[in-house]
Amino acid sequence: MTTSPRKVTLHSGKYFGCVSFFIVESSLSQSVPRMTPRQTPTGLWVGRRVYKGFRKLQAVGWVVASRATEGARVDRRNGLLGRHYAAFSSCKSICKTALRAVSCSTHCEARAMMNASSTALPAPTEITRVVAIDGMHCAACASKVESAARSVAGVRDASVSFAAKKLRVSFDPTRVDLSAINARVTRAGFALRLERDPAIRAAREVAAARALRRRVVIGAVFSIPLVVLAMSHGSIDAFAGSTAAWLQCALAAPVFFWCGWPIHAAAVAQLRRASSDMNTLVSVGTSIAFASSAWALLTHDPSTGVHALHGLWFEASAIIIVFVLLGRLLEARATAHASDALRALGALSVARVCVIDANSTEREVAADDIAIGMRVRVRPGERISVDGRVIAGESEVDESMLTGEPLPRAKRSGDRVVTGTMNSFGVLEIEVTHAAGDSVLARIVEMVDDAQMTKALIARVADRVAAVFVPIVLLIAAITATAWWMFAPAEVRAALALEAVVSVLVVACPCALGLATPVAIMVASGRAAQLGVLFRTAAAFEKLALVEEIVWDKTGTLTLGAPSGKEVTATQGNTIARVLRAAAACESGSEHPIARSIVKHAIEHGVEIVRATEFRAVAGQGARARVEFDGVEANVLVGRASWLESLGVSLVHKEISSSTEVLVALEGREIGRVTLEDAVRDSSRDALNALNTLGVRAQLASGDSTSAALALAKQLDIPADRVHGAMTPESKAAFVRERRNDGARVIAFVGDGINDAIALAASDVGIAMSCGTEVAQASADITLVSSDLRRIPDAIALSRRTLRIIKQNLVWAFGYNLVLIPLAAGALWPFTGWMLPPMLASAAMALSSVSVVANSLRLRRA
């Protein structure tokens, strides 16, 4: 039996509003433990710890965050929600996921919670799924699938990647499901592949490729002798006269009907829906060629002689189909290479894992069955199969496949390891901290996959053209036929009109338009992942390529973010121990790097961390709490001098050193200061030098004092006029907006903390460190997998080359159609007597899309 949820509203800091915890207590013998003041889930503590609570519960399958309801929904395994506090927060835009949970030690039934409070677990209002699509052959097809999906009531957004053959759809699960979306897409002539097993998808793709290759081979077997026969013009004695014509028909028929069946069937399906696509152009063109040839053969009077038998296009109808199918085969193979990097990342996962039971015996289990808390053993030379913490053993681990860092890292008890990395020489025992689906590797693969599904801004023109491309080509073909019929000499107008129409229909290629951008994004996102840079969207490539200036955070970005205690000073009448005791007690509830350093420094000096209550963190300023001294609670403030002054604290002296200084006040009076030093990150200088070479300026915006910021800038050769200290989160964001408005520059911001989230969101391109907070990463457009800042200039260089490749692809795709369609229509005939033959037109069409893909694949070497 459960009681009604007890709602506790807790203040969580200036930028997070409040957090409401719905606690359901069960009748089990275990009671809900009281949270100690150090565990109070308020302020900055929520940002890093809350989400992890849910992931530790084996009864929880997945969690969906909803920005609309500002809540979360949990998928319960076997009906049991597990041990938890469920929490929902009202967050502002800097926190893009309103997802909060923290574990406790009591069980409760999910149904009991749902019945007890209808607001405890609100249903999600939006779910995003990515599914594969069957039946797409050109960019016009992608446009039709998007329109069909968006027309379903309850669908919020839909985006199709023609290159990846996938649909990304966001919908309200209370109004519609995937089956309804699939039904609408099916009516448009396509189908969603709803199976989620990668093995099934891979088997289907292999079968489709094998079937396509079979049609190409058989088509070529029939077409080669057909072309030879047609080009002989009766010079082969054994096949002279009408015999040669009938033999051409016999050779062309299997190619036209069997090899071309998928093309004709797709065209008919579109015709039934009063629509058209690439298949329509090819089917109409080849059908005209084959039908007119068959009519000429059937109506030919043998008494008129063999020379009267003209206008045969059997070889054109066959070779066009073969070239089209060959082009699709080559395109599919080339496009598959675009995802090589993503597949290589996926291949880093291990299928079987060596698990250590409670009695220390080993057994192998599937990686998908690994649960949090299990112990795993990894031997020398084996790939680490889980995300976890080393609990026994020492070794070195090669993380280059994920982070790009060449040197292995030493690992010992307490160190963190991730899936996909390679163990070197020692045996490691690892405690699992994340399930397989929530590992770092899984999140990287998911982020890269998501980026490949988004669309670049530059692709909008191509999408608009592709949507109306086929109808325009059909109109041009009709105008071409009419013009030739009206103005060509009577004796040749039928043949010339037929040849021109077939060439126009066949040479037109919307595929190149559809592939120009997405293939480049696919290759670039995979290459970026290999470099240790994760792009959230395709638009981030465009923006980063145009970046002129980067605003840098200081602590945890250009520095290691692990400041060490340098000096503690106490005012008259106070002791260093008293200062450390007050500061450490107040900061024990925070996860800011400076707070952790103060606590660590106090422990190293033997200072007891006493109980603190009413903890509250003020982002970018400091923290406040009530700390017990001699049995009496007193108000303690720890933070920057300007903040303490604004609260009425009288400062003993205002001189600020070039190091980071944290002031400590007790009951409104300063009792001392803690001076900290933070080492410069090894890669900072190299990264800034590389950015200077690329023409990207650096600005330093730090929450530390101006003198501390200037000291760091001097080490990194950043000009003093580009250094800005004592900045709050709001002033950082305002500075970024000011730089954007000054000359319409494209500005990037690099940061790692919760206090950087506003500036990350305000910039054109936000870049977050993987070692930073989840809030910062959620606000950023780009995340660095490693802490190597040299990856930022690498990412800018890759983005610039990607944008250049996309522009080349678009110029080629548009230029190809603008030049070859008029040539196919006979624009040069009045001047040269030459017209683009249908066979050459089909070959050009097949090569056009392949050339776009091949050009994009050059990014693999970027």
Per-residue pLDDT tens digits for 615-668: 888 877 888 888 887 777 888 898 888 888 888 888 876 655 666 788 898 888
**259, pLDDT greater than 90:** yes
Which of 196-200, 279-283, 514-518 is predicted least confidently? 196-200
Average pLDDT, the chain: 76
Task: Tell which residue, 385, 476, 498, has the closest CA to residue 817.
Answer: 476
Rounded mean pLDDT of 495-512? 86
Question: Using an 8 Å Cβ cutoff, are 623 and 597 in contact?
Answer: no
Question: Using an 8 Å Cβ cutoff, are 288 and 498 in contact?
Answer: yes
Which of 56-65, 414-423, 523-532, 596-605 is predicted least confidently? 56-65
Rounded mean pLDDT of 452-458? 75
| Residue 519: partners with Cβ closer than 8 Å, 6 or more residues away | 163, 335, 338, 809, 852, 853, 856, 857
Give the model's pLDDT for residue 776: 55
The amino acid at 72: A
Rounded mean pLDDT of 655-683? 81
**73, pLDDT greater than 70:** no
Give the model's pLDDT for residue 774: 61
Percentage of the chain lying above the pLDDT 90 cut? 12
Q: What is the pLDDT of residues 698-740, one digit of tens each?
A: 999 988 778 888 888 888 999 999 999 888 888 888 898 888 8
DSSP letter at 600? H
Q: Is 193 helix (H, G, I), strand (E, B) or coil?
A: strand
* Dihedral sign, Cα of residue 104, residue 108, residue 109, residue 113: negative
**122, pLDDT greater than 70:** no
DSSP letter at 384? P
| Confidence grade of residue 216 (pLDDT, cut at 50, 70, 90) | very high
| Residue 818: partners with Cβ closer than 8 Å, 6 or more residues away | none
pTM of the model: 0.71
Q: Which residue has the higher pLDDT, 409 or 221?
A: 221
378: phi > 0 → left, psi -120 to 50 → alpha, else beta; which? beta
DSSP letter at 557? I
Q: Are strands 100-102 and 155-161 parallel, antiparallel or unpaired?
A: unpaired
Strand partners, 665: 637, 670
Give the model's pLDDT for residue 48: 31
Q: What is the pLDDT of residues 545-598, one digit of tens each?
A: 999 999 998 888 888 877 777 788 888 888 888 888 888 888 887 777 788 888
Question: Using an 8 Å Cβ cutoff, are 32 and 23 in contact?
Answer: yes
Give the model's pLDDT for residue 403: 67
Tell me whether residue 29 is exposed, middle or buried, using C-beta atoms within 10 angstroms of its C-beta: 0 to 12, 13 to 18, 19 or more.
Answer: exposed
Out of 115-124, 324-333, 816-825, the most confident range is 816-825
Percentage of the chain lying above the pLDDT 70 cut? 79
553 is catalytic: yes
DSSP letter at 307? G
**51, pLDDT greater than 60:** no
Buried b (16+ CB within 10 A) or exposed e, 516-550: bbbbbbbbbbbbbbbbbbbbbbbbbbbbbbebbbb
Q: Is 788 helix (H, G, I), strand (E, B) or coil?
A: coil
Sheet with 533-535: list strands edge to edge.
533-535, 782-784, 765-769, 747-751, 549-552, 697-701, 723-724
Give the start-end residues of each E strand in 619-688.
Answer: 622-629, 632-639, 660-666, 669-677
Q: What is the pLDDT of residues 755-802, one digit of tens each?
A: 677 888 888 898 988 765 566 566 678 888 888 899 999 999 999 999
Q: What is the CA radius of gyration of the chain?
A: 34
Which of 117-126, 174-183, 407-416 is predicted least confidently? 117-126
Q: Which residue has the higher pLDDT, 562 or 224?
A: 224
CA distances from 407 to 253, 378, 396, 629 (A): 62, 20, 9, 49
Give the model's pLDDT for residue 541: 92
Q: Which of 553, 752, 781, 788 is catalytic?
A: 553
Q: What is the pLDDT of residues 525-551, one digit of tens each?
A: 888 888 888 888 888 899 999 999 999
| Residue 765: partners with Cβ closer than 8 Å, 6 or more residues away | 540, 543, 544, 547, 746, 747, 748, 749, 781, 782
Structural domains present in the chain: 6-116 (no CATH), 127-196 (3.30.70.100), 351-442 (2.70.150.10), 535-559+681-797 (3.40.50.1000), 564-677 (3.40.1110.10)
Give the model's pLDDT for residue 545: 93
Token pair of 831 as six digits: 């001047």
Give the model's pLDDT for residue 86: 31
Rounded mean pLDDT of 372-393? 88
Q: How far is 726 from 105, CA to CA, in rounded Å?
A: 43
Rounded mean pLDDT of 513-528? 87
Rounded mean pLDDT of 382-399? 88
Q: How far is 453 from 456, CA to CA, in rounded Å?
A: 10
| Residue 63: partners with Cβ closer than 8 Å, 6 or more residues away | 51, 54, 72, 73, 74, 75, 99, 101
The amino acid at 9: T
